[in-house]
Amino acid sequence: MPVPRPPVEASKPAPEAGSGEPAPEKPVQGPPAPATQTEKPEPPPPPPPIPEEDAAAVAACLTELRSAGAVVKEAPRIDPENGCGIARPVVVGQLASDIEIKPEATLRCETALQLQRWTRDAVIPAIKAATPQKRLVALNQASAYVCRNRNNEPNGKLSEHALGNAVDIAGFTYSDGSRLAIAPREKDATIEGALQRAVVASACLYFTTVLDPGSDAAHETHLHLDVKKRTNGYRYCW
């Protein structure tokens, strides 16, 4: 026997106006969502001010330099307000009456003094022992004060050169006009190799950082020497 189908329900017509029957509710729409705003990154903090120098300490430094024959003059404060600078810079043209620094170097006085002491007490005796027929007449510097990051990288930590704490020595000039250029000499069996290794080793007694051609590719042509202060007098010599 066939099962009867349920009656089809007719679609309910919309209520007529005035019928008293409420109209169906329309979905409520709120205000449009605000457009997503890209948050602006916070600006980096300002760089720290350059370290100030004790006037008495600088005066004593200059006295020692000049008493050993250095030609050194004080220069105006360097402070571009970007983290670089030297509060009391000095410009050194000669480390002694017969030893120039070429070209002249702008440094902190402490850096210049350690360079003079190292040259007098370590470099000159080593040259005399290695090549007694020659006399040191100039240090050839490749970089002194310059506002830049380490290894000239676009980002990263500020170089000690940017604070006047560092000097790069590219070689030594002798009285006969010849030169010893700094180069990779770790396994150099010549007297020049022995001389370079001797002066590099002694530099760590005067500077807190010594980087030579064996340290990395960025220092293959010079010695980086600086007086950066470290905890407990720690030194980095490589």
Per-residue pLDDT tens over the stretch 91-125: 999 999 999 999 999 999 999 999 999 999 999 99
pLDDT higher than threshold 60 for residue 50 = yes
| Distance, CA of 136 to CA of 130 (rounded, Å) | 12
Cβ neighbourhood burial of 137 (10 Å; 0-12, 13-18, 19+):
middle
Domain residues for the domain of 102 are 55-237
The answer to the question of residue 45 being in a domain is no
The answer to the question of residue 24 being in a domain is no
The answer to the question of residue 175 being in a domain is yes
| Distance, CA of 147 to CA of 197 (rounded, Å) | 30
pLDDT higher than threshold 70 for residue 28 = no
Task: Count up the domains in the chain and report the number.
Answer: 1
pLDDT above 70 covers what percent of the chain?
Answer: 84
pTM of the predicted model, to two decimals? 0.80
The answer to the question of residue 186 being in a domain is yes
Angle (CA) 6-12-16 rounded to 5° is: 155
Q: Which amino acid is at 25?
A: E
| Distance, CA of 159 to CA of 146 (rounded, Å) | 9
| DSSP-derived secondary structure for 138-162 | EEEEEESS---BGGG-SSSSBPGGG
Angle between helices 109-118 and 55-67 (to 10 degrees): 30
The answer to the question of residue 28 being in a domain is no
CATH for 102: 3.30.1380
Mean pLDDT across the stretch 132-152? 93
State the pLDDT at residue 91. 98
| DSSP-derived secondary structure for 171-231 | EEEETTS-EEE----TT--SHHHHHHHHHHHHHTTT-SEEE-TTT-GGGTTSEEEE----G
Q: Backbone phi, then psi, for 211, in 5-degree steps?
A: -120, 125
| Distance, CA of 138 to CA of 126 (rounded, Å) | 15
The DSSP output letter for 51 is P
Lowest mean pLDDT among 13-22, 121-130, 167-176: 13-22
The answer to the question of residue 184 being in a domain is yes
Tokens in use for 75? Answer: 């220069």
The answer to the question of residue 230 being in a domain is yes
